[in-house]
Amino acid sequence: MAEATTEFFPGFGGAQLALHRMGSGRPVVLLHGLFSSAHVNWIKFGTAAKLAEAGFECLMPDLRVHGQSAAPHDPAAYPPDVLARDLEALVAHLGLVDFDLVGFSLGSRTSARAVIAGVQPRRLVLSGMGLEGLAGWARRQDFFVDVIDRFGTIKRDDPAYFAQQFLKTMGTDRDAARLLLGSMADTDPAELSAITMPTLVLCGDQDNDNGSAEKLAAALPDARLALIPGTHMSSVTMPQLGDALVQFLA
């Protein structure tokens, strides 16, 4: 199996961000979910390996405040859409012209925002995302701010408990995460008309965390919907995730 290598690149404002690579061939950028990392979302459960075996070079950054990337505490490091700006910095740093883009959850939100701002992948995959996760992000954001504010006091019967435990497991810098959450805004559904490339909306069949994947696919100019087994947390562990990505991108 291909091994991942790690390097660093300057994101927006010069923040040092980690980039993990696996495979060789057609470049595909993969963006992980909130409070996760490239390793947990893409490498650990074999998704990147499947893409590498199919002839892709997986380019997997750790988003700002995640994984091995910088987590600055200066509010100036978190302008609006900073994650989309970091993606633009990665594309420029690598000189990418002909590439594919895959996001999961927050990675999907970041991918959509970046495409609306002008990033142009050949094909796009929005996984773990529904229409309300883009158009109604503020409600989701409030949920996570509440988890951060009540961290360490949330009991097992509280809907926020599993998010608290995931933050604890990942060792997330909560002060930086709170700043990052404040850099995100809702996406007007009318803006989705800018996402003109062929798009796969890919979601667990029990995943409603970010709203309706069906509505998101219907709102995009050139999208199709695919469902794989799993909830929001478990779908990224499924072999069907890698299979669906290879089938669409190849």
Q: What is the pLDDT of residues 103-143, one digit of tens each?
A: 999 999 999 999 999 999 999 999 999 999 999 988 888 99
The CA angle 241-228-21, to the nearest 5 degrees, is: 10
- The conformation of residue 34, written as its DSSP 8-state character, comes to T
What is the β-pairing status of strands 16-22 and 5-10?
antiparallel
pLDDT of residue 138: 86
| Token pair 């996570």 in the structure block, residue | 144
Mean pLDDT of the region 52-67: 98
Q: What SS3 class is residue 188?
A: coil
> How crowded is residue 123: how many other Cβ atoms within 10 Å of its Cβ?
17
Task: List the one residue out of 202, 172, 215 whose CA is nearest residue 107.
Answer: 202
> CA 146 to CA 150: how far, in whole Å?
6
Domains of the chain (ranges plus CATH)? 5-135+189-249 (3.40.50.1820)
Do 213 and 188 touch, CB atoms closer than 8 A? no
Q: Which tens digit of pLDDT belongs to each residue from 2-52? A: 799 999 999 999 999 999 999 999 999 999 999 999 999 999 999 999 999
**Per-residue pLDDT at 162 exceeds 70:** yes
- Sheet-wide strand order for 124-127: 5-10, 16-22, 56-61, 26-31, 100-104, 124-127, 199-204, 223-228
